[in-house]
Structure 1
Amino acid sequence: MQNVIIFGASGHGSVVLDCLEKEGKYNIIGFVDSFKEKGFKINGYQVLGNEIDLPFLISRYNIDGGIVAIGDNWTRKIIVDRILKISPNFNFVNTVHPKAILGKDILIGCGNVFMPGSIVNANSIIHDFCIINTNSSLGHDGIMDSYSSLAPSVCTGGSLKLGRYSAISLGVNIVNGVEIGQHSVIGAGSLVVDHFGDNVIAYGSPARIVRKRTVGEPYLSTPKKQQFYKLESIDDVESNLSI
C-alpha cells in the first residue's frame, strides 16, 4: 500500500481524507499545510510540515505520492507548481470515493478528486487536478480541462466542455453541448443554456454574463469576506487566502 500525504488541512482536506480512507488503496501519513502549525491534528492526522519540508518528509516517511486538497482552482495550481519545483517527480494520485460512479471508457489524468455521489458518464475526459464534488454529475462525452471543478449537486448534460481553471458553483444545471472557457465561474443555482467564453462571471436562470473576471480572483469565500484581487504567486496566496 502506497504512503501518501494530503496538501491542505482545511475542511476540503477533511473530505479528501475521507475519500482516501473509504477507498482503502493508500496509507495516509498526514497533512502538509503552510498555515497550520506542525503537529496540529485534524481528524486524527498530524500536520507534518509545509511544502518546503517535502524532501525530508519523502525520505522520512517513504512517501510514494499525494494529493492537493485545495478547493480554489487557481490556488490549487499554484500549490501544485510549488510542489513540482521542490520535488519535480512527485507522484500525484487520484482519489475515488466508493460511492462515486465512473462510466465506461472515461479517461482520467492525475490529482483528481471524485467525491461521494459524484457521477462521470461514458466517454468523458477528466484532465489533471479537477474536483467532481458531492452528488455532482458530468454527462456523457464531457470534458473537464485541468484545474476545473464541479461544486456539489451540479448536473451537466452531455458533451460539456469546461475550460481550465473554471468553476461551476453549487446546484448549477447545464444543458447539452455547452462550452465554457477558461477562468470563468458560473454562479450558484444557475441554469446554463448558452456558451460562455474566458474570464467571465455568469449567473441566473438563464445564466447571463454579469462581469469580467481576473485570473486568480477568488470565488469560494463568503460574500462578507469577498475581496477581488489577482493571485499570481504563492506569496499572493499566503498574503490573501486561508487554504
Structure 2
Amino acid sequence: MKLAIYGAGGLGREVLVLAQRIQHAAPRWDEMLFIDDIAPNREVKGTAVITFEQALSQDIAVVIAVGEPEARARLAEKVLRQGIPLATLIHPDVVLTDCSRIGAGCVLSAGVFISCDVVLGQNVYLQPYSSVGHDCQVGNHSVLSTYVTMGGNCLIGERVFIGMSAVIQQRVTVGKDVIIGMGAAVFNSVQEGVIALGNPARVMRKNDEKRVFK
C-alpha cells in the first residue's frame, strides 16, 4: 500500500518528513506520494504529486496535510466517501499511554505528549511538543499547534484550531468551530463558532468564515 499525503504545501512537506521518519523506524508503505489538485509542481522534495482522480486507481491510505480544520473535514469526507482509509501517523518519540484512544487519520508529531485516558477523534493533527492532559477529548479534524498545553478533563469540539503556545486550563470546554489565538490563556469555557484571543482569552468575534489562515 502507498501513503498518499493530501496537500503538497508546507504542512505536506512536514508530514512527508514525519512519514519518512516512521518508515525508517518500521517500514509500512511501498511508496509515498502527494495528492494535490492545484499545486503547480508535479514533484515536491523528490516525491510525485498527483491529482485525487489519479489516486483513485491506486492502492493507497491517505493522511490529510492541511492546517485548516474546515478543509481537513472536507477532504477527509471526500476520501472516506471513496472507501479509502485514513492513515494514522505517530512519530516514534511520541509519549502515548495504552489507555488512550487515537482515531483514524490522526497525526502526532515529534515530542507530543498524550496522558492517560485521552480520546482523539478522527483526523486530529497535533503539531510538535503539544501536550494533552488526562481524560481530555479532542473532536474530529481539530488542530493543536506547537507547544499547546491542555490540562486534564478538557473537552475540545470538532474543527477547532488552537494556536501556538496556547494554554487551556483543566476542565475547560471549547465548542466546535472555534479558533484559539496563539499564546492565549483559556481559563473559561468557550462557546462554539467564535474566535478567542489574549490572556486571559476573550471572545473577539464570530468565526463566520471558518478560516484560520487568510
TM range (shorter): over 0.9
Q: Superposition pairs for residues 113-124 of structure 1, below 5 Å?
A: 113-124=107-118
Whole-angstrom distance in 2 between the partners of 1:148 and 1:211: 20
Q: Does 1:202 align with 2:196?
A: yes
Q: Does 1:19 align with 2:18?
A: yes
The answer for the alignment partner of 2:36 in structure 1 is: 33
1:84 equivalent in alignment to 2:77: no
Q: Contact 1:101–1:117 at 8 Å: present in 2 too?
A: yes
Deviation at 1:12, TM superposition (A): 0.4
Contact 2:2 2:33 (8 Å CA) reproduced:
no
1:67 alignment partner, SS class: strand
Q: Normalising by the residue count of structure 1, what TM-score does the alignment of the two structures yield?
A: 0.82
Matched, 1:151 2:153: no
The equivalent of 1:3 in structure 2 is 2
1:95-150 deviation per Cα after TM superposition (whole angstroms, max 9, x unaligned): 00112211230011101100111111110000100011111101111100101111
Partner of 1:46: 48
Q: Tell me what 2:65 maps to.
A: 69
Amino acid at match of 2:45: N
Partner of 1:141: 135
Task: Give percent identity, aligned residues only.
Answer: 24
**Residue in 1 aligned with 2:165?**
171
The corresponding residue for 1:236 is none
- SS of equivalent to 1:18: helix
1:193 matched residue in structure 2? 187
Residue type at the aligned position of 2:199: S
Aligned residues: 210
Q: TM-score, normalised by structure 2?
A: 0.93
Q: Deviations over 1:45-102 (max 9, x none)?
A: 010x21122322x1xxxx24121111111011111222234x2x21111000112211
- Return the alpha-carbon distance in structure 2 between the equivalents of residues 99 and 155 of structure 1: 18
Structure 1, unaligned runs of 5 or more: 227-243
Q: Give distance in 1, aligned partners of 2:115 and 2:60.
A: 30
Matched residue SS, 1:35: coil
- Secondary structure at 2:5's aligned position in 1? strand
Please say if residues 84 and 90 of structure 1, whose CA atoms lie closer than 8 Å, have aligned partners that are also in contact. Answer: yes
